[in-house]
Amino acid sequence: MSSGMDWASDRLAADDGLVSELGDGGARVVSVARSAAGPDPAAAADQVDATGGVWSPGRRRLTAGLVLTITLVAFESLAIATIMPTVSDDLGGLGLYGWVFSGFFLGSLVGIVLAGQASDERGTRFPFAVGLALFAAGLVVGGAAQSMPMLVAGRVAQGVGAGAIPAVAYAAVGRSYPPELRPRVFAVFSSAWVVPGLIGPVAAASLAEVTSWRAVFLALLPLVGLAAAMAIPALGAHDLDDEPAGDGTDGTDGAGVTPTIDPRIGAVVLVAGVALVLGGLGAGSPLVGAPLVIGGAVPAVWAFLRLVPAGTARLVSGMPAAVAVRGILTFAFFGTDAYISLAVTDARDQSTWLAGAALTVGTLTWTTGTWVQARLVGRRGPRWLVEAGFVCLVVATMGMLLVLRPAVPAALILVVWGLGGWSMGISYSSLSLTVLALAEPGHEGTASAALQLSDVLGVSLGTGLVGVFVALGDARGWATGSSLTLGFTLTLAVAIGGLLAARRLPECLPSD
């Protein structure tokens, strides 16, 4: 579904003689004279730029480039999710079904951390270009895959590139758009999922049926080139904040944003540890699985706690709680979402068209929910919206458990997963707004990397652990519906836990 392209940061900008305030009626910009000599032309120009819209001349190319990139990611996400049952039937290896998704997101963890650091140190253009190149290489390997392990390898490479894209875009939006425009920017970005949501699943199913599922991977390559041509020139090579970066220790809400270990080392340790845990859980033998789980969990937890804000594991109010809740949310949602197609085609013996339609409906309701969230977050606050989102997700996951039953009409999945998409639309962006509103100037990349790391770790664990149930059922001859029932029961429990954890979020955005 969505790759996390929702950003916001609300902070005062007084150093250039401007003060921005976000109120119920929108933003107002007040010019402050810096001297008695007369108006400062540079400040006047900055004021015009600050009040321009998302599509103003100074931002038009950047907005278009980022929207195109999101469209590319949207097509990839929906297309691969739609055709995966066909791919699994062709290559075999249902036991690795979950690894196609979890491997992608484990690779994304590495890309997120490295790109977030590079964005703060070198600007956004270089890591963005490298991310697109790796994404394209992964598509080529995936399209040429002759086995499920080869497909998983291609997805890992693709994931490293895909992880760099949202981390860079978070930093770019934080530096290129004033606070009052950022909720609107996120709504525009979410709208970039509408066209892929409408035609992506149908196009992927048709292309796979007429030619081959391999064509679905390879057909995305021209979009990568177009996205690069549009976005890279618009990104600044040295777009770093002129202010010295804060230390991120100005209080509980922003404490410990800066990683306490080298992010490159931490990312590798985290990914290796999570991979060992997932491998151990799917090993089938306790004698083999237990050492892998223990040997992977210890270093993974150690690395994660040093890459995210201090207090994340304890749900400390403010940024730590928001980062943690984001991971819980993505675990619960994507742990179910990744298996929609498998539930429809294998568990209910329906066509890929129905699976694609369910993904389309979920995408459209996610987009609609994002626009509603942009209007409500200033009045209702992030806590209310995220709690409402978790309530909807709990109901949607319970609905998926019903859809797995043969006596229930399979078409009910359209309503059920439409509610699931809505749950993400009203809650996902609210967490982004909360985290980056607390980011220190110059730390946008690091803060967004922490948010995305928790985000993608949740996806990796959700898809991976449900995949463990699928692999276990395949090895023991269970019906696919039975395996997914266990998996969706897990995501339901996590969603209920997220509803409780959301109580640690602030009632209002920090700027309010």
The per-residue pLDDT for range 368-393, each reduced to its tens digit, is: 998 898 888 888 989 999 999 999 99
Q: What is the pLDDT of residue 4?
A: 38
- CB-based contact 20:179 (threshold 8 Å): yes
User: Which of 167, 250, 306 lies closest to 440 in space, CA to CA?
Assistant: 250
Residue 374 tokens, joined: 């942009």
Over 90: is that where the pLDDT of 495 sits?
A: yes
Domain count, the chain: 1
What tens digit of pLDDT does each residue of 448-459 get?
778 878 987 898
**pLDDT for the residue 367:** 82
When pLDDT is averaged across residues 406-425 and rounded to a whole number, the result is 95
Residue 251 pLDDT > 60: no
Query: What type of residue sits at position 435?
Result: V
Confirm whether 150 is domain-assigned.
yes
Q: Is residue 433 part of a domain?
A: yes
Predicted confidence (pLDDT) per residue in 117-162, tens digit: 777 777 788 888 898 999 999 999 999 999 999 999 999 998 888 8
Q: Which of 228-237, 319-328, 461-470, 490-499 has the lowest mean pLDDT?
A: 228-237
Rounded to 10 degrees, the C-alpha dihedral 153/155/156/157 comes to 90
Q: What mean pLDDT is predicted for residues 474-489? A: 92
Residue 400 lies in a domain: yes
Higher-confidence residue: 470 or 64?
Answer: 470
- Whether 301 shows a pLDDT value over 80: the answer reads yes
Tell whether the model's pLDDT for residue 406 goes beyond 60: yes
How large a percentage of the chain has pLDDT more than 90?
Answer: 31
User: Half-sphere exposure of 105 toward its Cβ, with a 13 Å CA cutoff?
Assistant: 30
What pLDDT does 31 receive? 25
| 257 or 73: which leads in pLDDT | 73
Task: Give the pLDDT band of residue 7 (cuts 50, 70, 90).
Answer: very low
**Identity of the highest mean pLDDT range in 14-28, 54-68, 228-242, 383-397:** 383-397
Range of the domain at 470: 18-34+58-257+309-504
Q: Which residue has the higher pLDDT, 224 or 439?
A: 224
Integer Cα distance of 127 and 121 in angstroms = 10
Nearest partner of 98 among 469, 481, 490, 467, judged by Cα: 467
- Residue bearing the bigger pLDDT, 6 or 266: 266
Asked whether residue 277 is assigned to any structural domain, the reply reads no
Residues 339, 466 contacting (CB under 8 angstroms): yes
pLDDT above 60: residue 468 = yes
Instruction: Say whether 256 sits in a helix, a strand or coil.
Output: coil
**Cα 418 off chain centre by:** 18
For residue 140, give the CATH number of its domain.
Answer: 1.20.1250.20
Of 24-38, 346-360, 390-404, least confident by mean pLDDT is 24-38
**pLDDT tens, residue by residue, 133-145:** 999 999 999 999 9
Higher pLDDT, 110 or 399: 399
Average pLDDT over residues 308-326: 90
Whether 4 maps to a domain, the answer reads no
Q: Is 104 helix (H, G, I), strand (E, B) or coil?
A: helix
State the pLDDT at residue 95: 78
For residue 142, the model assigns a pLDDT of 92
Most confident of 43-47, 109-113, 250-254, 422-426: 422-426
Tell me if 276 is assigned to some domain.
no
Q: Which amino acid is at 374?
A: A
Task: Place 416 in a pLDDT band, splitting at 50, 70 and 90.
Answer: very high
Q: Does residue 326 form part of some domain?
A: yes
Q: In whole angstroms, what is the distance from residue 254 CA to residue 248 CA?
A: 6
Q: Provide the pLDDT for residue 348.
A: 93
Contacting residues for 367 by C-beta, under 8 A, at least 6 apart: 190, 191, 193, 194, 197, 425
Helix (H, G, I), strand (E, B) or coil at 83: helix
State the Cα–Cα distance between residues 424 and 362, nearest whole angstrom.
Answer: 9
- Taking the C-alpha atoms of residue 485 and residue 470, their distance in angstroms, rounded to an integer, is 10
Question: Is position 396 within any domain?
Answer: yes
pLDDT at 343: 94
**C-alpha closest to that of 330 among 277, 379, 366:** 366
Q: How far apart are CA 289 and CA 293, in angstroms?
A: 6
The label of the residue with tokens 């916001």 reads 8
**How sure is the predictor about 244, in pLDDT bands with cuts at 50, 70 and 90?**
very low
Integer CA distances (angstroms), 146 to 99, 150, 161, 336, 434, in order:
16, 7, 22, 27, 44
